[in-house]
Structure 1
Amino acid sequence: MEDCIFCKIVRNEIPSTTVYEDDYVKAFLDISQVTPGHTLLVPKVHVADIFEYDEELAAQVFSRIPLIAKAIKASDPKIIGMNICNNNGEIAYQSVFHSHVHFVPRYSKKDDFWMHWGDHTDQYTPEKLQKIADNIKAHLEV
């Protein structure tokens, strides 16, 4: 996609601070730096989100995650954890529609990042959970 900002970064038409690059992916510092070391990993081929991946692309992109995460963590002894996020669709907070993975190093509970996971345990019986699982299983394409 010609106007995609991440495609332009991959083609070096827009400057970025690259931390890793190979034939399939490019990892670079996010300009917003939610926390120091905040890095994005993007496939070099344009895909909008996870729903456009095939198995080969997924293997190439997601196999790089431990490599990048370990390098970020090793780069600063103050990093005590890391959020690794892949948002898909506007409702899921995706703002650039070229698939990407965020690596957000965590330094303390008081840094400028948080996530909320609602607990709805009391709303789901084992039967309701099984019905949901069966519906998902029926749509697996393996």
Structure 2
Amino acid sequence: MVEDCVFCKIIREELPSYSVFDDGDYIAFLDIRPMNPGHTLVVPKLHYRWVWDVPEAGRYFETVTRVAKALQKTMKTEWIAADVAGMGVAHAHIHLIPRFPQDGHGEFVNGRNVKTIPAEEMKAIAETIRKWLLTSAVDQRMGGSLRE
């Protein structure tokens, strides 16, 4: 981990976050500058500069898919925009942004259109996503597939 990396600090729990998923290798948490409610970052717990530096890219994208499906269900939208920009924080991360009709972004997510979401609502959103992911994990261990 890198001492001054914001995401490494979140992973070390030196900074607070609205965590929705942690499997020991990857963590997902709500973006504190959300483009829409449910905007989530999926981050490897080991520090890699770029997404393509992550050695188990398949497992990383399985995690991204799992979180995206949770967002579809909990945020009640089929459209999840994914962004691998590599800017802002120099730690590999993928943005998952639920999209909604009339969400103020147009066809592409406008990075300047940050939504103000109260802390209590952020906590509630995180809890809803986290519960869905925990329930789907139990379903999978019981022989089911990821809930549709």
**5+ residue gaps in structure 1?**
89-93, 117-142
Q: Does 1:84 align with 2:85?
A: no
Taking the TM superposition and a 5 Å limit, the aligned residue runs for 1:63-74 are 63-74=62-73
**5+ residue gaps in structure 2?**
110-148
Query: 1:33: Cα distance to partner?
Result: 1.2
Q: Percent identity?
A: 36
Distance in 1 (CA, whole Å) between partners of 2:105 and 2:29 is 20
RMSD (Å), alpha carbons: 1.8
Q: TM-score, normalised by structure 1?
A: 0.70
What is the letter of the counterpart of residue 83 of structure 1?
A
1:106 to 85, 90, 99: 99
List per-residue Cα deviations over 1:27-57 (Å, max 9, x = no partner).
0000011101000000000001124222x2x
Distance in 1 (CA, whole Å) between partners of 2:58 and 2:8 is 20
Please say if residues 24 and 60 of structure 1, whose CA atoms lie closer than 8 Å, have aligned partners that are also in contact.
no
Q: Structure 1 stretches (4+) deviating beyond 6 angstroms?
A: none
3-state DSSP class of the match of 1:63? helix
Distance in 2 (CA, whole Å) between partners of 1:75 and 1:84 is 17
Taking the TM superposition and a 5 Å limit, the aligned residue runs for 1:16-31 are 16-31=17-32
What is the letter of the counterpart of residue 13 of structure 1?
E
Q: 1:114 and 1:83, CA in 2 relative to 1: closer, same or farther beyond 3 A?
A: same
1:97 to 90, 95, 99: 90
What is the letter of the counterpart of residue 15 of structure 1?
P
Query: 1:63: Cα distance to partner?
Result: 1.4
Distance in 2 (CA, whole Å) between partners of 1:59 and 1:80 is 23
3-state DSSP class of the match of 2:91? coil
Query: 1:110: Cα distance to partner?
Result: 4.2
Distance in 2 (CA, whole Å) between partners of 1:97 and 1:29 is 18
- How many residue pairs match? The answer is 108
What is the letter of the counterpart of residue 10 of structure 1?
I
Q: 1:68 and 1:38, CA in 2 relative to 1: closer, same or farther beyond 3 A?
A: same
Max radius of gyration: which structure? 1
